[in-house]
Amino acid sequence: MTPPLTQSDIDREIAELHKAHDGEEADQPRRDFAPYRSSALRHPKQPLIAVDDPEAAELTGPVFGVTDVTALDADLTKQHLGEPLGERITVQGRVLDRSGRPVRGQLVEIWQANASGRYLHQRDDHPAPLDPNFTGVGRCLTDDEGRYAFTTIKPGAYPWRNHVNAWRPAHIHFSVFGTAFTQRLVTQMYFPNDPLFPYDPVLNSVTDERARQRLVAAYEHDLSVPEWSLGYRWDIVLDGPSATWMEEGR
């Protein structure tokens, strides 16, 4: 029987892959980043199939209307009768194109664990408490300046079964919808100075250090609301040299 993988095994693999891809020009994480074990099984192994008629594909895809999105959807602390537990935060930023122009009217969706690091999901059964007042999903549309804003709870770190003692740094999953379902982009936002960064194969599947930094929000004191919440700023750049790295297989 092969011994269980330790953090040191994973650290070694990450270091080797970072060295191998040092300075490489890329704008996407690798689809099969070996230290992130399930990516080996999950990533597409066949070439993509071009759809002859993309408009027909859109007709069967999910749709949403501007009137479907309400202000309540962007406040994850007000979706239940009571207040969720944890550190209340506001997360704001802009969705920008490669030239820094605002991307307006974009559906931005988030999902996240609660303050204890637990998702409200049947596959998450690790022994941390659920919060009856927190679902962990939200959405909003960007305004004319490309701005989005959410009020939520700072998510906790959580364990996963990639290797022995594997922990994900606190993060919020983001989706930017585009103008059609086939354009959807998915990524993750992290919190500054998280001690778990070096150990996480998911974050480190982004092999470029500067690109990893672009996934980390900045604490911004002026965004903190007195007596209410701590403020974080995180901009999403859709392409170009400053692009936010997105997950493949979208």
| Residues recognised as catalytic | 119, 158, 168, 171, 173
**Cα Rg of the chain (Å, integer):** 19
First to last CA, the chain: 36
- Counting every residue written for the chain, the total comes to 250
Long-range contacts of residues 184-190, Cβ cutoff 8 Å, at least 24 apart: 184/250, 185/238, 185/246, 185/250, 186/246, 186/247, 186/250, 187/215, 187/236, 187/244, 187/245, 187/246, 187/247, 188/215, 188/247, 189/91, 189/215, 189/216, 189/217, 189/234, 190/215, 190/216, 190/217
